[in-house]
Chain A
Protein backbone atom coordinates (compact mmCIF):
# COMPACT_ATOMS: atom_id res chain seq x y z
CA UNK A 1 0.00 0.00 0.00
CA UNK A 2 2.85 2.38 0.89
CA UNK A 3 4.29 1.89 -2.62
CA UNK A 4 1.05 3.19 -4.13
CA UNK A 5 1.07 6.25 -1.86
CA UNK A 6 4.65 6.87 -2.88
CA UNK A 7 3.73 6.76 -6.59
CA UNK A 8 0.73 9.02 -5.97
CA UNK A 9 2.79 11.65 -4.13
CA UNK A 10 5.57 11.43 -6.69
CA UNK A 11 3.21 11.91 -9.66
CA UNK A 12 1.10 14.65 -8.09
CA UNK A 13 3.64 16.75 -6.25
CA UNK A 14 7.31 16.05 -6.87
CA UNK A 15 6.77 15.48 -10.60
CA UNK A 16 3.68 17.69 -11.00
CA UNK A 17 2.90 17.63 -14.72
CA UNK A 18 2.21 21.36 -15.03
CA UNK A 19 4.58 23.03 -12.59
CA UNK A 20 7.56 20.69 -12.67
CA UNK A 21 7.46 18.87 -16.01
CA UNK A 22 5.79 21.81 -17.81
CA UNK A 23 3.53 19.50 -19.85
CA UNK A 24 -0.06 20.06 -20.97
CA UNK A 25 0.38 23.79 -21.53
CA UNK A 26 -2.31 24.06 -24.22
CA UNK A 27 -5.33 23.25 -22.03
CA UNK A 28 -3.76 25.01 -19.03
CA UNK A 29 -3.67 28.27 -20.98
CA UNK A 30 -6.81 27.95 -23.05
CA UNK A 31 -9.40 26.50 -20.73
CA UNK A 32 -8.66 28.20 -17.44
CA UNK A 33 -10.80 31.27 -18.08
CA UNK A 34 -12.75 30.17 -15.01
CA UNK A 35 -12.29 27.90 -12.01
CA UNK A 36 -15.19 25.67 -13.09
CA UNK A 37 -13.71 25.16 -16.57
CA UNK A 38 -10.33 24.31 -15.07
CA UNK A 39 -11.84 21.77 -12.71
CA UNK A 40 -14.01 20.06 -15.33
CA UNK A 41 -11.04 19.84 -17.72
CA UNK A 42 -8.88 18.44 -14.93
CA UNK A 43 -11.45 15.78 -14.04
CA UNK A 44 -11.89 14.79 -17.70
CA UNK A 45 -8.12 14.41 -18.12
CA UNK A 46 -7.86 12.42 -14.87
CA UNK A 47 -10.51 9.95 -16.04
CA UNK A 48 -8.71 9.49 -19.36
CA UNK A 49 -5.32 9.16 -17.64
CA UNK A 50 -6.52 6.40 -15.32
CA UNK A 51 -8.35 4.35 -17.98
CA UNK A 52 -5.69 4.66 -20.68
CA UNK A 53 -2.86 4.04 -18.18
CA UNK A 54 -4.43 0.80 -17.00
CA UNK A 55 -5.17 -0.54 -20.49
CA UNK A 56 -1.78 0.43 -21.91
CA UNK A 57 0.09 -1.23 -19.08
CA UNK A 58 -2.10 -4.33 -19.58
CA UNK A 59 -1.09 -4.56 -23.22
CA UNK A 60 2.50 -3.42 -22.76
CA UNK A 61 4.09 -6.74 -23.78
CA UNK A 62 1.84 -7.28 -26.80
CA UNK A 63 2.54 -4.04 -28.65
CA UNK A 64 5.61 -4.25 -30.94
CA UNK A 65 7.92 -1.28 -30.81
CA UNK A 66 7.46 -0.10 -34.39
CA UNK A 67 3.78 0.82 -33.82
CA UNK A 68 4.09 1.71 -30.14
CA UNK A 69 3.14 5.38 -30.36
CA UNK A 70 0.36 4.72 -32.87
CA UNK A 71 -1.29 2.06 -30.70
CA UNK A 72 -1.02 4.09 -27.47
CA UNK A 73 -2.53 7.14 -29.09
CA UNK A 74 -5.42 5.14 -30.58
CA UNK A 75 -6.26 3.69 -27.16
CA UNK A 76 -6.08 7.15 -25.57
CA UNK A 77 -8.24 8.74 -28.25
CA UNK A 78 -10.84 5.97 -27.88
CA UNK A 79 -11.24 6.87 -24.20
CA UNK A 80 -11.24 10.59 -24.96
CA UNK A 81 -13.99 10.22 -27.58
CA UNK A 82 -15.99 8.11 -25.13
CA UNK A 83 -15.63 10.82 -22.45
CA UNK A 84 -16.53 13.48 -25.03
CA UNK A 85 -19.72 11.66 -26.03
CA UNK A 86 -20.74 11.19 -22.41
CA UNK A 87 -20.10 14.87 -21.61
CA UNK A 88 -22.05 16.01 -24.69
CA UNK A 89 -24.97 13.80 -23.67
CA UNK A 90 -25.19 14.38 -19.93
CA UNK A 91 -23.20 17.57 -19.14
CA UNK A 92 -24.09 20.19 -21.81
CA UNK A 93 -22.72 23.11 -19.77
CA UNK A 94 -19.27 21.51 -19.56
CA UNK A 95 -19.39 20.67 -23.28
CA UNK A 96 -20.20 24.31 -24.13
CA UNK A 97 -17.39 25.61 -21.92
CA UNK A 98 -14.63 23.24 -22.99
CA UNK A 99 -15.65 22.67 -26.61
CA UNK A 100 -12.72 21.85 -28.92
CA UNK A 101 -10.38 21.25 -25.99
CA UNK A 102 -12.00 17.93 -25.05
CA UNK A 103 -10.83 16.14 -28.22
CA UNK A 104 -7.48 17.85 -27.76
CA UNK A 105 -6.98 15.85 -24.57
CA UNK A 106 -5.82 13.12 -26.96
CA UNK A 107 -2.76 15.15 -27.86
CA UNK A 108 -2.29 16.43 -24.33
CA UNK A 109 1.41 15.82 -23.71
CA UNK A 110 0.70 14.56 -20.18
CA UNK A 111 -1.45 11.63 -21.25
CA UNK A 112 0.92 10.21 -23.85
CA UNK A 113 3.91 11.23 -21.73
CA UNK A 114 2.67 9.21 -18.73
CA UNK A 115 1.67 6.34 -21.01
CA UNK A 116 5.14 6.07 -22.50
CA UNK A 117 7.23 6.97 -19.48
CA UNK A 118 5.28 5.07 -16.81
CA UNK A 119 2.39 2.92 -17.95
CA UNK A 120 4.42 0.96 -20.48
CA UNK A 121 6.91 -0.08 -17.80
CA UNK A 122 4.75 -0.77 -14.73
CA UNK A 123 1.87 -2.98 -13.65
CA UNK A 124 -1.73 -1.84 -14.31
CA UNK A 125 -2.30 -1.09 -10.62
CA UNK A 126 0.70 1.25 -10.43
CA UNK A 127 -0.20 2.83 -13.78
CA UNK A 128 -3.72 3.60 -12.57
CA UNK A 129 -2.40 5.20 -9.37
CA UNK A 130 0.16 7.17 -11.33
CA UNK A 131 -2.62 8.32 -13.69
CA UNK A 132 -4.68 9.41 -10.69
CA UNK A 133 -1.68 11.22 -9.21
CA UNK A 134 -0.71 13.15 -12.31
CA UNK A 135 -4.41 13.80 -12.99
CA UNK A 136 -4.84 15.30 -9.53
CA UNK A 137 -1.66 17.33 -9.91
CA UNK A 138 -2.92 18.65 -13.25
CA UNK A 139 -6.40 19.42 -11.86
CA UNK A 140 -4.94 21.34 -8.92
CA UNK A 141 -2.75 23.35 -11.28
CA UNK A 142 -5.68 24.09 -13.61
CA UNK A 143 -7.91 25.06 -10.69
CA UNK A 144 -5.24 27.40 -9.32
CA UNK A 145 -4.67 29.17 -12.64
CA UNK A 146 -8.42 29.17 -13.31
CA UNK A 147 -9.13 30.76 -9.94
CA UNK A 148 -6.55 33.50 -10.44
CA UNK A 149 -7.72 34.31 -13.96
CA UNK A 150 -11.40 34.30 -13.05
CA UNK A 151 -10.93 36.36 -9.88
CA UNK A 152 -8.75 39.00 -11.55
CA UNK A 153 -10.32 38.80 -14.99
CA UNK A 154 -14.06 38.72 -14.40
CA UNK A 155 -14.12 39.57 -10.71
CA UNK A 156 -16.03 36.50 -9.56
CA UNK A 157 -15.29 33.25 -7.81
CA UNK A 158 -17.09 30.26 -9.39
CA UNK A 159 -19.27 32.84 -11.08
CA UNK A 160 -20.68 33.96 -7.73
CA UNK A 161 -19.27 36.31 -5.16
CA UNK A 162 -18.19 39.53 -6.89
CA UNK A 163 -14.72 41.06 -6.56
CA UNK A 164 -15.91 44.16 -4.69
CA UNK A 165 -16.43 42.14 -1.51
CA UNK A 166 -12.77 41.16 -1.33
CA UNK A 167 -11.13 44.38 -2.48
CA UNK A 168 -13.30 47.54 -2.24
CA UNK A 169 -13.53 49.74 -5.39
CA UNK A 170 -11.68 47.04 -7.40
CA UNK A 171 -12.73 46.58 -11.03
CA UNK A 172 -12.05 43.27 -12.88
CA UNK A 173 -9.18 43.50 -15.39
CA UNK A 174 -10.28 42.12 -18.73
CA UNK A 175 -6.67 41.37 -19.60
CA UNK A 176 -6.62 38.18 -17.53
CA UNK A 177 -9.45 36.58 -19.48
CA UNK A 178 -7.83 37.26 -22.84
CA UNK A 179 -5.20 34.88 -24.30
CA UNK A 180 -2.30 37.20 -23.45
CA UNK A 181 -3.38 37.17 -19.80
CA UNK A 182 -3.22 33.39 -19.76
CA UNK A 183 0.49 33.37 -20.57
CA UNK A 184 1.30 36.01 -17.98
CA UNK A 185 -0.80 34.42 -15.22
CA UNK A 186 0.74 30.98 -15.80
CA UNK A 187 4.19 32.57 -15.77
CA UNK A 188 3.59 34.19 -12.39
CA UNK A 189 1.97 31.06 -10.92
CA UNK A 190 4.93 28.87 -11.95
CA UNK A 191 7.35 31.46 -10.58
CA UNK A 192 5.49 31.42 -7.26
CA UNK A 193 5.60 27.61 -7.17
CA UNK A 194 9.32 27.64 -7.99
CA UNK A 195 9.96 30.09 -5.16
CA UNK A 196 8.04 27.89 -2.71
CA UNK A 197 9.83 24.76 -3.85
CA UNK A 198 13.27 26.39 -3.60
CA UNK A 199 12.52 27.78 -0.12
CA UNK A 200 11.28 24.44 1.23
CA UNK A 201 14.30 22.67 -0.25
CA UNK A 202 16.71 25.12 1.37
CA UNK A 203 14.90 24.85 4.71
CA UNK A 204 15.02 21.07 4.51
CA UNK A 205 18.77 21.19 3.69
CA UNK A 206 19.44 23.54 6.60
CA UNK A 207 17.49 21.30 8.95
CA UNK A 208 19.59 18.31 7.77
CA UNK A 209 22.76 20.35 8.19
CA UNK A 210 21.78 21.13 11.78
CA UNK A 211 21.25 17.39 12.62
Chain B
Protein backbone atom coordinates (compact mmCIF):
# COMPACT_ATOMS: atom_id res chain seq x y z
CA UNK B 1 0.00 0.00 0.00
CA UNK B 2 2.25 2.77 -1.21
CA UNK B 3 -0.25 5.53 -0.77
CA UNK B 4 -0.28 6.43 2.97
CA UNK B 5 -3.61 8.28 2.77
CA UNK B 6 -5.35 5.18 1.43
CA UNK B 7 -3.77 2.96 4.09
CA UNK B 8 -4.75 5.26 6.94
CA UNK B 9 -8.28 5.72 5.67
CA UNK B 10 -8.69 1.98 5.17
CA UNK B 11 -7.45 1.15 8.67
CA UNK B 12 -9.78 3.57 10.41
CA UNK B 13 -12.60 2.45 8.09
CA UNK B 14 -12.07 -1.20 9.00
CA UNK B 15 -11.79 -0.52 12.72
CA UNK B 16 -14.97 1.56 12.78
CA UNK B 17 -16.87 -1.00 10.72
CA UNK B 18 -15.85 -3.92 12.91
CA UNK B 19 -16.56 -2.05 16.13
CA UNK B 20 -19.97 -0.92 14.93
CA UNK B 21 -20.74 -4.48 13.87
CA UNK B 22 -19.74 -5.82 17.29
CA UNK B 23 -21.87 -3.30 19.18
CA UNK B 24 -24.82 -3.81 16.84
CA UNK B 25 -24.64 -7.55 17.48
CA UNK B 26 -24.57 -7.01 21.27
CA UNK B 27 -27.50 -4.57 20.95
CA UNK B 28 -29.41 -7.10 18.91
CA UNK B 29 -28.93 -9.74 21.60
CA UNK B 30 -29.70 -7.49 24.56
CA UNK B 31 -32.63 -5.57 23.01
CA UNK B 32 -35.37 -8.13 23.77
CA UNK B 33 -34.10 -8.59 27.32
CA UNK B 34 -34.03 -4.85 27.99
CA UNK B 35 -37.48 -4.14 26.57
CA UNK B 36 -38.96 -7.10 28.43
CA UNK B 37 -37.39 -5.95 31.69
CA UNK B 38 -38.52 -2.34 31.26
CA UNK B 39 -42.08 -3.32 30.37
CA UNK B 40 -42.20 -5.63 33.37
CA UNK B 41 -40.78 -2.91 35.67
CA UNK B 42 -43.46 -0.49 34.50
CA UNK B 43 -46.24 -3.05 34.95
CA UNK B 44 -44.99 -3.74 38.48
CA UNK B 45 -45.08 -0.04 39.25
CA UNK B 46 -48.61 0.31 37.90
CA UNK B 47 -49.73 -2.68 39.93
CA UNK B 48 -48.11 -1.25 43.08
CA UNK B 49 -50.21 1.85 42.59
CA UNK B 50 -53.44 0.33 41.25
CA UNK B 51 -53.73 -3.36 42.18
CA UNK B 52 -57.03 -3.91 40.41
CA UNK B 53 -55.43 -3.05 37.06
CA UNK B 54 -54.31 -6.67 36.72
CA UNK B 55 -57.87 -7.79 36.07
CA UNK B 56 -58.85 -4.89 33.76
CA UNK B 57 -58.10 -4.10 30.15
CA UNK B 58 -55.76 -1.19 29.51
CA UNK B 59 -56.63 1.37 26.84
CA UNK B 60 -53.81 3.71 25.85
CA UNK B 61 -54.92 7.36 25.74
CA UNK B 62 -53.23 10.30 24.10
CA UNK B 63 -50.85 12.00 26.56
CA UNK B 64 -49.95 15.71 26.38
CA UNK B 65 -47.56 18.12 28.08
CA UNK B 66 -45.90 16.81 31.22
CA UNK B 67 -48.06 13.70 31.26
CA UNK B 68 -45.95 11.14 29.45
CA UNK B 69 -48.35 8.21 29.46
CA UNK B 70 -52.03 7.86 30.26
CA UNK B 71 -53.87 4.55 30.28
CA UNK B 72 -57.52 4.06 31.07
CA UNK B 73 -58.67 0.77 32.62
CA UNK B 74 -62.03 -0.70 31.68
CA UNK B 75 -63.72 -3.74 33.17
CA UNK B 76 -65.37 -6.56 31.20
CA UNK B 77 -68.40 -4.50 30.01
CA UNK B 78 -66.26 -1.50 28.98
CA UNK B 79 -67.16 0.58 32.08
CA UNK B 80 -64.37 2.99 32.99
CA UNK B 81 -62.85 2.00 36.34
CA UNK B 82 -59.87 4.29 36.63
CA UNK B 83 -56.84 5.88 35.06
CA UNK B 84 -53.09 5.45 35.57
CA UNK B 85 -50.85 8.31 34.43
CA UNK B 86 -47.08 8.78 34.38
CA UNK B 87 -46.42 12.47 34.85
CA UNK B 88 -43.22 14.52 35.20
CA UNK B 89 -42.80 17.44 37.67
CA UNK B 90 -39.87 19.89 37.66
CA UNK B 91 -38.38 19.34 41.11
CA UNK B 92 -35.41 21.03 42.82
CA UNK B 93 -32.65 18.83 41.47
CA UNK B 94 -34.33 17.78 38.23
CA UNK B 95 -37.42 15.94 36.93
CA UNK B 96 -39.61 13.89 39.28
CA UNK B 97 -41.47 11.11 37.40
CA UNK B 98 -44.65 10.04 39.26
CA UNK B 99 -47.10 7.22 38.65
CA UNK B 100 -50.60 8.09 39.92
CA UNK B 101 -53.79 6.03 39.81
CA UNK B 102 -56.98 8.11 39.75
CA UNK B 103 -60.69 7.19 39.78
CA UNK B 104 -62.86 8.77 37.03
CA UNK B 105 -64.24 11.15 39.71
CA UNK B 106 -60.73 12.43 40.48
CA UNK B 107 -59.89 10.61 43.73
CA UNK B 108 -56.30 9.36 43.97
CA UNK B 109 -56.16 5.60 44.53
CA UNK B 110 -52.39 5.36 44.82
CA UNK B 111 -49.19 7.18 43.89
CA UNK B 112 -45.55 6.17 43.49
CA UNK B 113 -42.28 7.75 42.36
CA UNK B 114 -40.57 6.16 39.38
CA UNK B 115 -37.47 8.35 39.28
CA UNK B 116 -36.19 11.53 40.89
CA UNK B 117 -32.90 13.37 41.41
CA UNK B 118 -33.78 15.48 44.45
CA UNK B 119 -30.99 16.36 46.87
CA UNK B 120 -30.66 13.35 49.16
CA UNK B 121 -31.92 14.12 52.66
CA UNK B 122 -33.57 17.45 51.69
CA UNK B 123 -35.74 17.20 48.60
CA UNK B 124 -35.89 13.42 48.86
CA UNK B 125 -38.08 13.75 51.99
CA UNK B 126 -40.86 15.17 49.83
CA UNK B 127 -40.44 12.32 47.37
CA UNK B 128 -40.20 9.77 50.12
CA UNK B 129 -42.89 7.38 51.39
CA UNK B 130 -44.99 9.39 53.83
CA UNK B 131 -45.71 12.48 51.69
CA UNK B 132 -46.58 10.35 48.66
CA UNK B 133 -48.72 8.12 50.86
CA UNK B 134 -50.57 11.22 52.11
CA UNK B 135 -51.65 11.78 48.48
CA UNK B 136 -53.57 8.53 48.43
CA UNK B 137 -57.22 9.13 49.24
CA UNK B 138 -57.03 12.86 48.63
CA UNK B 139 -59.02 14.04 45.68
CA UNK B 140 -57.60 16.27 42.96
CA UNK B 141 -56.78 19.09 42.75
CA UNK B 142 -54.68 18.38 45.82
CA UNK B 143 -53.89 22.01 46.55
CA UNK B 144 -57.27 22.69 48.16
CA UNK B 145 -58.10 19.29 49.56
CA UNK B 146 -55.98 19.16 52.67
CA UNK B 147 -52.60 17.92 51.34
CA UNK B 148 -49.89 20.15 52.83
CA UNK B 149 -46.30 20.17 51.56
CA UNK B 150 -43.34 18.81 53.51
CA UNK B 151 -41.65 21.61 55.47
CA UNK B 152 -38.14 22.24 54.22
CA UNK B 153 -38.84 20.65 50.83
CA UNK B 154 -41.41 23.06 49.47
CA UNK B 155 -40.19 23.11 45.85
CA UNK B 156 -40.23 19.33 45.59
CA UNK B 157 -43.64 18.93 47.24
CA UNK B 158 -45.14 21.69 45.10
CA UNK B 159 -43.70 19.98 42.00
CA UNK B 160 -45.39 16.70 42.99
CA UNK B 161 -48.73 18.42 43.63
CA UNK B 162 -48.55 20.38 40.37
CA UNK B 163 -47.88 17.16 38.47
CA UNK B 164 -50.89 15.49 40.10
CA UNK B 165 -53.14 18.46 39.26
CA UNK B 166 -51.99 18.45 35.63
CA UNK B 167 -52.87 14.76 35.38
CA UNK B 168 -56.35 15.59 36.71
CA UNK B 169 -56.93 18.35 34.12
CA UNK B 170 -55.94 15.94 31.33
CA UNK B 171 -58.27 13.26 32.73
CA UNK B 172 -61.16 15.75 32.95
CA UNK B 173 -60.58 16.55 29.26
CA UNK B 174 -60.56 12.84 28.43
CA UNK B 175 -63.67 12.39 30.56
CA UNK B 176 -65.61 14.99 28.51
CA UNK B 177 -64.33 13.72 25.13
Q: Within the complex, are A and B direct neighbours (CB within 8 Å)?
A: yes
0/1 string, B1-30, CB within 8 A of A gives 1:
000100110011001100110110011001
Cross-chain pairs A/B with CB under 8 angstroms, 5 sampled: A64-B8, A66-B4, A74-B12, A78-B20, A174-B121
CB-defined contacts of A66 to chain B, threshold 8 Å: 4, 8
The answer on a CB contact under 8 Å between B120 and A154 is yes
The answer on a CB contact under 8 Å between A64 and B4 is yes
| Distance between Cα atoms of A177 and B119 in the complex (Å) | 9
Stretch of B33-41, B50-58, B80-88 contacting A (4+ beta carbons < 8 Å) = B33-41
Q: How far is the CB of A42 from chain B (nearest CB, A)?
A: 22
CB-defined contacts of A172 to chain B, threshold 8 Å: 121
The answer on a CB contact under 8 Å between A63 and B34 is no
Stretch of A17-25, A79-87, A109-117 contacting B (4+ beta carbons < 8 Å) = A79-87
Interface residues of A (CB under 8 A from B): 33, 59, 62-64, 66-67, 70-71, 74-75, 77-78, 81-82, 85-86, 88-90, 92, 96, 154, 172, 174, 177-178
Q: How far is the CB of B3 from chain A (nearest CB, A)?
A: 12
CB-defined contacts of B11 to chain A, threshold 8 Å: 62-64, 67, 71
Given contacts A89-B33, A174-B120, A177-B121, whether A82 and B26 have CB atoms under 8 Å apart is yes
| Distance between Cα atoms of A71 and B15 in the complex (Å) | 7
What are the nearest 3 A-B pairs in CB distance? A78-B19, A89-B30, A89-B33
Chain A CB within 8 A of B133 CB: no
The answer on a CB contact under 8 Å between B119 and A178 is yes
Interface residues of B (CB under 8 A from A): 4, 7-8, 11-12, 15-16, 19-20, 22-23, 26-27, 30, 33-34, 37, 41, 115, 119-122
CB-defined contacts of A90 to chain B, threshold 8 Å: 30, 33
Q: How far is the CB of B45 from chain A (nearest CB, A)?
A: 13
Given contacts A67-B11, A74-B15, whether A177 and B26 have CB atoms under 8 Å apart is no
The answer on a CB contact under 8 Å between A88 and B12 is no
| Distance between Cα atoms of A89 and B35 in the complex (Å) | 8
The answer on a CB contact under 8 Å between B8 and A92 is no
| Distance between Cα atoms of A174 and B124 in the complex (Å) | 12
Given contacts A82-B23, A85-B26, A178-B119, whether A75 and B15 have CB atoms under 8 Å apart is yes
| Distance between Cα atoms of A66 and B8 in the complex (Å) | 7
Q: How far is the CB of A46 from chain B (nearest CB, A)?
A: 18
The answer on a CB contact under 8 Å between A82 and B22 is yes
| Distance between Cα atoms of A81 and B115 in the complex (Å) | 23
A33's nearest neighbour on chain B, judged by CB, is B120
CB-defined contacts of B34 to chain A, threshold 8 Å: 85, 88-89
CB-defined contacts of A63 to chain B, threshold 8 Å: 11, 15
Known contacts A88-B34, A89-B30; 14 additional CB pairs below 8 A are A64-B4, A66-B4, A66-B8, A74-B12, A77-B19, A78-B23, A81-B23, A82-B26, A85-B26, A85-B27, A90-B30, A96-B115, A154-B121, A174-B122
Instruction: Select B37's contact among A78, A89, A178, beta carbons within 8 Å.
Output: A89
Instruction: Select B30's contact among A70, A88, A154, A178, beta carbons within 8 Å.
Output: A88
Given contacts A66-B8, A89-B33, whether A74 and B120 have CB atoms under 8 Å apart is no
